[in-house]
Amino acid sequence: MADTAIREVTKGVWTFSRPFARFGLVPIGGRSTAIQLNDGGLWVLASTPLNEPTKAKLDELGPVKYIVSADAVHYLFLSEFKKAYPDAKLYAPKAAIERCNDKTLKFDGVWGGSDSDGKTFEFENEARNFIQHCYFSGFKNRDVAFFHADSKVMVEADLLFNLPATEQYSKSTSSGYVPSWGQINPWNWMHPKLVWQLGENKEEMKRDARTVAGWNFEKIIPCHGDVIENDGNKAWREAYKAFLD
């Protein structure tokens, strides 16, 4: 598909951005992210279709070692990624696994399972390319935030939006903008209210929001909206100020 914008956000971190409208009406964009690991393999947050341009770039960059779902609703393309890369290890929140239609998928790591507390996942042990995770058990969509220490990049799905989705609609005939919803970003008054409402367990949200605020990231790569290129930690603190104050 020619509507996928592919770029290297920073050394070894690639994004695959394309149009996506929630409920077919609200243009929030979609994005997958690939991180090159120390051994040349790839860690992939798989949130968009594995179309021809996406697969060609992934195959060029290196073997896919890890396929990740970031929350309960970003599971639609796990099956096609796993079929294309059968040797890759698959990780997802329990809520995503329960919703996934392909019950033949075998998961190598689960967030939110009975034995998942404090568990270390294999991709965390990549020496120079250490990737941390924080599972938001109190968030409605059971999201996981990821921090790639080497590039100072944080990757997430629905924890933070940065709309309008300009890059994701850059190859589309649509502008990707709608009034009010089209302006949800960390500095808009609506975002802190939105995340507060989505926080089902306020104490767990405070704990996990503080964990992420303690990471030393400069960029945020969201699934929905433009990449935050600078002052990412400040943007996070602004969006989550209700949980951090």
Print the SS3 string covering 128-158.
Answer: CCCEEEEECCCECCCCEEEEECCCCEEEECC
Instruction: Give domain status of residue 120, yes or no.
Output: no
Instruction: Give domain status of residue 117, yes or no.
Output: no
Instruction: Give domain status of residue 45, yes or no.
Output: yes
Reported as a single tens digit per residue, the pLDDT across 37-75 is: 988 999 999 999 999 999 999 999 999 999 999 999 999
Q: If you search the block for the tokens 């996934």, which residue do you land on?
A: 100
Tell me what pLDDT residue 2 has.
76
Instruction: Give domain status of residue 118, yes or no.
Output: no
- Any idea what the CATH number is for the domain that residue 57 is in? 3.60.15.10
Tell me what pLDDT residue 116 has.
56
Instruction: Give domain status of residue 9, yes or no.
Output: yes
Instruction: Give domain status of residue 166, yes or no.
Output: yes
Tell me what pLDDT residue 103 has.
95
Parent domain of 107: 5-112+129-244
Determine the Cα–Cα distance for residues 117 and 137; give it in Å rounded to an integer: 10
Is residue 1's pLDDT more than 70? no
Reduced to 3 states, what is the DSSP secondary structure of residue 53?
helix
Instruction: Give domain status of residue 59, yes or no.
Output: yes
> Burial, 220: exposed, middle or buried (Cβ in 10 Å; 0-12, 13-18, 19+)?
buried
CA gyration radius, the chain = 17
Tokens for 5, please give them: 């914008």
Whether the upstream peptide bond of residue 164 has omega within 30° of 0, thus cis, is: yes
Is residue 127's pLDDT more than 50? no
Instruction: Give domain status of residue 121, yes or no.
Output: no
Number of separate domains in the chain? 1
